[in-house]
Structure 1
Amino acid sequence: MNTERPHGASTLIVKDLNAQSVLRCLKEAQTATVRQLAGASGLSVVTVKAIMTSLVDQGKAFIGGKAPSGGGRPSQRYIFNEKHSLGLVIFTREVDGKDTVFLRVVDLYGQTLDSESIEIPSLGPDELETLIGEKILQFNRLQAISLGLPGIEYKGTIVSVDYKALIGIPLADRLRSRFGMPVLVENDVNAAVLGRDCEAYIYFPRKYPPGAGLLIQGTLLKGCHHFAGEIGWLPLGISWGPETADSFEDCCSAAAKVVASLTAVVDPASVVLYGEHLGKEHLQRIGELCRNLLPAQALPTLHCSEDFTADFEQGLKKILLNLLDENLLEKPLREEQIPKKKI
């Protein structure tokens, strides 16, 4: 849509809107000429050319080679600089019985530039700040952080989590203040449902009650107190833990009751299940039991994820890319340099 002359907008706002449009188009195309960007954005060639000059000066774009001319004068190509701003994904998982922190540095396309996993005996805010500070020293263009934890965050404060030192801590605000960049903290299963891009995702740990992530029309369902998805609290009379998980029939019966309960509330077209102890035989049996609990027209399609960590990480990357895009597009013609972070 042409935003060159919106009624009543100031010149500065118009310039920002135009630059945002051009930058989005260039990012989507990866490389393009001024004429191609003008066609995609609806702006004039003259306007786009001026914007591209500014974006190159800021380092958000590079000058590339010449495009094929087709008989006329060759056009200058521009390349989106995906490394202009970087982001940090942090998440925790238990690996071989040991608490492990995973750190990923990604570019504006979500490509991983640096990957590290660190075993840590205890995780608190000080340990997190140390890990983040070390990454900022390595990558001075870090501009946003997404953090995934197995717990509940409400109004910016961690109210329930496996790491007791984090409970009661306004973690997102603390990290924003400490490092001067956007920070978003998300529950592990909520991140997984985003990463998998499905409507419902249920994680069945072997030792703990299950949790669910729900994506309704593309939006995470969190509820008034961010308690949505805490399905271990459903009054189903199930004793969650290794004894139930290790019994094939008890495990399948418990999972089917959870799926049926969830279906009766949100009616998903499909449900993804994950558990280290779940296999194809479990999925088949859970489906059979669900057919006894639900009417045929309400049965969701069941899928089994093979890699919760990958789904978790992918969801955090999506969250991070949204933060980076917001930061990149805010006042695009008035950003002079990457601000220095406090470490």
Structure 2
Amino acid sequence: MIINKHIMRTTNEKQVLQQIVNSGPISRSQISRNLSLNKVTVSDIYSQLLHEGLIREVGHGVSTRNGGRKPVMALLNVGYGYVISINILRSRFSMITCRLDGKSENYESVSTRDVDLTTVLDMIDDRISATMSANENRLLGIAFGLDGVIYDNQILAASLKGFKNFDLAKYFSDKFQVPVVLENLASESAIYERDFAGEGLYHNLISVTIRDQVAAGIVTDDRLYRGHNGEAGNIGTCPLADRYHEENMETVNHYVAEGPVLQRIMAYQKIDRVDVNRIRRDYLGHRPELLSILDEFAYYLAKVLGNISNTFAPDAIIVNAPILELLPELMDKVRDYVGQMAILRKAPLLLTKNAKEASLLGGASAIIHKALGLDDLQLTFGNQRSAVLEGVES
């Protein structure tokens, strides 16, 4: 068999950079041992990355017990550039800037209520331009997340008017001359759970997001699964039998999506805007009207989660829902309903640790992978260590 030397070199370069991102500060000799590559190859790639400014040296580790020179330690150079991640929802968009080590900055949420698509794009354009003007480092890429079916960086279906088949990636890539990646919100949340929150614990997980739609992001063997044309996880349109009259069927979105649930709450409260403080107050005060609405929500959500657990057998299911972030105690009722189901597989049901930014950070991870040329390799964020370590061999 003839091995293409260029492919070997590219693979080695990616793996060395992956080691520095995931395990830095780290020495060349430790990278060599971790990858079973000879030291000359590692040193050559290391020097190239250092010359390009992708990594930086941060001090020395500790020499071996036998003495010798202390090894120079390297980290990813977060000053090399930054990325922007944007989520577009029905009546707002949210945005963060993110360093290459996954640290987020400058979260903002902008209302787009009663605004058309062209104006929304202009508003996003203005925010990106303002961020670039205020940042001395260079923009390396942009990620967009939205509810819908996305495949091969194209929007095949969307809950937002005007976005279906609109080439959002090309529009902003042409404007800012950087790579742009698109994902649906559920897939971004699943990436977040894998790369930021999971710490390598769950290799097969499902993140269920409840926003304008109910959707599932699926990670199998650490890889995002999109299915045919990106349609995997589109559970919001699946039918559910009515709790009291099984012959009546509605969609999962009807019973569980954020909009319909909040509409029911506002209707009983006789107000036309969501008042989260009042929802929390009524819940703690055991208002029967609210408890009834939330019991219905918990029951139908349990049906969805139980079926997912039994069908996919994931290591864990992580739920990302603002209503559950506001009322985390409600998750116990969901677990109780799942516990009553006659199913073989009951995966752990968890709440995300960061409902507000989970999908944004998942998008940031996706574009960081792209910017670093590491699309097919696992990166883990959020566990950066001190610059000088103890017990590192030379």
Q: Please tell me the TM-score bracket, short chain as reference.
A: 0.7 to 0.9
| Residue in structure 1 matched with residue 127 of structure 2 by the alignment | 131
Call closer, same or farther: CA 1:284–1:142 in 2, change over 3 Å. Answer: same
Structure 1 residue 185 displacement after superposition: 0.8
Q: Structure 2: which 5+ residue stretches go unaligned?
A: 195-201, 241-248, 266-289, 377-394
| Residue in structure 2 matched with residue 110 of structure 1 by the alignment | 102
- AA at the equivalent of 1:158: I
1:174 paired with 2:171, answer: yes
Call closer, same or farther: CA 1:60–1:202 in 2, change over 3 Å. Answer: closer
What is the SS of the residue equivalent to 1:202? strand
| Residue in structure 2 matched with residue 261 of structure 1 by the alignment | 307
| Residue in structure 2 matched with residue 282 of structure 1 by the alignment | 330
Call closer, same or farther: CA 1:234–1:63 in 2, change over 3 Å. Answer: closer
- AA at the equivalent of 1:302: L
Call closer, same or farther: CA 1:14–1:189 in 2, change over 3 Å. Answer: closer
Counterparts of 1:120 and 1:126 in 2: how far apart (Å)? Answer: 13
Counterparts of 2:216 and 2:352 in 1: how far apart (Å)? Answer: 13
Counterparts of 1:46 and 1:90 in 2: how far apart (Å)? Answer: 41
1:57 paired with 2:104, answer: no
Moved more, 179-188 or 150-159: 150-159
Call closer, same or farther: CA 1:263–1:42 in 2, change over 3 Å. Answer: closer
Moved more, 75-84 or 229-238: 75-84
Contact 1:256/1:287, CA 8 A, preserved across alignment: yes
Structure 1 residue 283 displacement after superposition: 2.6
Contact 1:189/1:203, CA 8 A, preserved across alignment: yes
Contact 1:125/1:171, CA 8 A, preserved across alignment: no
Structure 1 residue 224 displacement after superposition: 1.5
Call closer, same or farther: CA 1:51–1:309 in 2, change over 3 Å. Answer: same
The residue correspondences of 1:78-89 to structure 2 (distance < 5 A) are 78-80=73-75, 81-89=77-85
| Residue in structure 2 matched with residue 317 of structure 1 by the alignment | 364
- AA at the equivalent of 1:151: G
The residue correspondences of 1:1-343 to structure 2 (distance < 5 A) are 9-10=4-5, 16=10, 18-65=12-59, 74-75=69-70, 77-80=72-75, 81-92=77-88, 99-107=92-100, 109-112=101-104, 114-121=105-112, 122=115, 124-137=120-133, 138-197=135-194, 199-205=205-211, 208-236=212-240, 237-238=249-250, 239-240=254-255, 241-242=260-261, 246=290, 247-278=293-324, 279-295=327-343, 297-305=344-352, 307-326=354-373
Which protein has greater RCO, CA pairs closer than 8 Å, 6+ apart? 2
Counterparts of 2:96 and 2:110 in 1: how far apart (Å)? Answer: 12
Counterparts of 2:58 and 2:350 in 1: how far apart (Å)? Answer: 45
The CA deviation string for residues 57-79 of structure 1, in whole angstroms up to 9 with x for no partner, is 32233455555567866456253
Counterparts of 1:284 and 1:303 in 2: how far apart (Å)? Answer: 10
| Residue in structure 1 matched with residue 199 of structure 2 by the alignment | none
How many residue pairs match? The answer is: 315
Q: TM-score, normalised by structure 1?
A: 0.74
Counterparts of 2:12 and 2:231 in 1: how far apart (Å)? Answer: 41
Contact 2:31/2:42, CA 8 A, preserved across alignment: yes
Counterparts of 2:313 and 2:57 in 1: how far apart (Å)? Answer: 50
Counterparts of 1:221 and 1:13 in 2: how far apart (Å)? Answer: 25
- AA at the equivalent of 1:111: K
Percent identity, aligned pairs only? Answer: 18
Counterparts of 1:53 and 1:304 in 2: how far apart (Å)? Answer: 43
Contact 1:67/1:74, CA 8 A, preserved across alignment: no
Call closer, same or farther: CA 1:268–1:294 in 2, change over 3 Å. Answer: farther
What is the SS of the residue equivalent to 1:277? helix
- AA at the equivalent of 2:356: T
